[in-house]
Amino acid sequence: MDSPADFVESRRPAGSKRSGKRDFIVDTFLAQTGHLTADDLVALIRKADSRISRATIYRTLQWMVDAKIAQKVDFGEGRSRYERAYRHPRHFHLICEACHRSFEFLSSDIESMLDEVVESRGFEVHKATIQVHGTCERCRTGSSTRDDEGSTERLFARDALRVAIATEKSGLAFYTRAARIVRDARGKQVFLKLADEEKTHLATLQKRYDELLAEDPQLDSRPAFLFFKGAANGIFASGVEELAAGVDDRKALLIGIRCERGSHKFFKKYGDRFEDSEGKRIFLEFADEEKQHMDLLVAEFKALNARIVSARKRRPSQARSTQAR
């Protein structure tokens, strides 16, 4: 993955010179997590280096917007704000009208609702903005446990990892149980192999989660960024329940295929939609792995069916030969 500096470098117009001032303005802007007005940025820059003029800062800000490093947002305050666009996941905003701070979130339910609406109208979306205006907890009560938000990128990676971990856990429970109940020896081997893979994936995901925690020890207590109702309990949770009701080998494979397909589609759909980020990478890697699992189960299901058919062919012929005698 390229670093922010590489990205900024790649956006520089051909033939234009590297400018120390501009680099400094860009770095200062990218180091911020909130939504700055142009005046906020001017104050920040000039506090650090009063030789940089307001005009240079404005010009650089416009250049960042054109280069898609920054993005203009309008919270209805009569002036624009700017947030980073580079590796910033798509999101919606809660906006406090008292202190003018804003809080970012993303919800799968809102996204699927929007999809449904625009599809039914045959509408092509260029931009969708959701803003919730109100008063934040700190302005309402004078204190907040959820005040310091941390970076959206990191919250996103944290929440993506949580969804992936919940899915792996439910997958592990599913395959462990399936391996116990199937009667076919080959089917049992497949389920055991998948349970083993889920264990390995879980360890990898947990390790990445711990790395994020090391970067930000408060991370566990920060507010949620991603709201994924359907996936929060793990996509295989319903499959585990179905197994408990008692199923035969074919049905167990079919439930596994359905869960893997659901999981693959879920991670692919959101992974494709996210801006380039750690969260996107986690979702897309996961989508690939689920696809491989699904293909394995489909192959196993076909093989099992073939075995059943050939066993049936053998048995009736034996039956006929007995009758003939």
Nearer to Zn ion, 103 or 209 (CB): 103
- Binding to Zn ion by CB under 5 A, coded x per residue (else -) over 112-141, reads ------------------------x--x--
Helix runs in 81-226, H state only:
108-121, 137-141, 152-181, 185-215
Instruction: Give the length of the chain.
Output: 325
By the 8 A CB rule, do 279 and 160 touch?
Answer: yes
Rounded to a whole number of angstroms, the minimum distance from the CB of residue 53 to Zn ion is: 28
Among 48, 98, 306, 309, binds Zn ion (CB under 5 A): 98
Rounded to a whole number of angstroms, the minimum distance from the CB of residue 207 to Zn ion is: 30
Among 41, 96, 231, 259, binds Zn ion (CB under 5 A): 96
β-bridge partners, 102: 95
- Of 103-111, 173-181, 240-248, 304-312: span binding Zn ion (CB under 5 A): 103-111
- Sheet strand arrangement including 102-107: 131-134, 92-96, 102-107, 226-227
At position 179, the amino acid (one-letter code) is A
By the 8 A CB rule, do 185 and 249 touch?
Answer: no
Rounded to a whole number of angstroms, the minimum distance from the CB of residue 136 to Zn ion is: 3
- Binding-site size for Zn ion (CB under 5 A) equals 7
Q: Furthest-apart CA pair in the chain: how many Å? A: 108
The answer to the question of residue 99 lying near Zn ion (CB under 5 A) is yes
- Restricting to residues 225-264, name those near Zn ion by CB under 5 A: none
β-bridge partners, 322: none
- Restricting to residues 57-86, name those near Zn ion by CB under 5 A: 83
Query: Under the rule (CB under 5 A), what is the footprint of Zn ion?
Result: 83, 96, 98-99, 104, 136, 139
